[in-house]
Amino acid sequence: MRSKMVLVFVAVFFLASPVFAAPLVYNLDTSFAGTTPQGTTPWLVATFNQYRANEVDVTLTATGLVGSEFVSAWYFNYSGASPITVTQNGGSLPATVSVGSNAYEAVLGGKSDGKFDVLVQFPVSGPDVFTSGLTEYFAIRGSAIKESMFSALSSGGTSPDGFTAACVQSIGTTGGSGLVTDTPIATPDPLSVWLLGSGLLGLGTIRKRFGK
């Protein structure tokens, strides 16, 4: 009887635990305006992940920039109804975050990837530029938000609209600037898979034990 109660507790614990979706990963590997970065794609990677309710963690990484190339601005979208706040919670660079519905257009040389809802700006000079190998971390908070709310396309672009975009500067010998955009790839979240699998396993064990 005691073992049955333990199994019931374990199953209820896992089934009651929130199971979040797989992370949303954007590989910024397409140049749509200005100068194309010279490194290997993806030049940049943005990952949206949810480990707790009402909060989405964002990781921005410069994976394929080379030489003096750096990120000056990063754009993404939000489709939820609740207001959100964005705070920097890791990394070494100062950043300015602005939020507004369709308020920020990723445009260069007359070509636009559309208007976005969130803009993250980084320094454009000095030792704190966002260059290759660096990663910055942000927390987005809002009532009932989910990472799927950051999979909305931009609107009104002259180029194909994107889920996210970034401006890369100091490219090549001429020091040119370019706008890059994404290819979305969802990857399995080990924690979500483990929670779901453990809950189902516990439930199956209880049914088997009580069935005897």
Q: What is the pLDDT of residue 53?
A: 96
Q: What is the pLDDT of residue 31?
A: 94
Give mean pLDDT in consecutive 10-residue pieces for the chain, a chain of 212 residues: 42 46 92 96 97 97 97 97 95 96 94 94 96 97 96 83 94 96 58 44 48 53
Cβ atoms within 10 Å, residue 11? 20
* One domain, residues 168 and 84: yes
* One domain, residues 2 and 107: no
* One domain, residues 205 and 106: no
Domain CATH number, residue 34: 2.60.40
* One domain, residues 85 and 135: yes
At 75, phi and psi to the nearest 5?
A: -115, 145
* One domain, residues 146 and 208: no
pTM: 0.79
* One domain, residues 113 and 196: no
**Domain count of the chain?**
2
Nearest to 51 by CA among 197, 200, 194, 203: 194
* One domain, residues 145 and 210: no
Q: What is the pLDDT of residue 155?
A: 84
* One domain, residues 168 and 131: yes
Q: What is the pLDDT of residue 105?
A: 95
* One domain, residues 147 and 63: yes
* One domain, residues 12 and 74: no
Q: What is the pLDDT of residue 191?
A: 46
* One domain, residues 71 and 176: yes
- Non-local (6+) Cβ contacts of 128 within 8 A are 92, 93, 94, 122
* One domain, residues 201 and 108: no
Domain that holds residue 7: 1-20+189-212
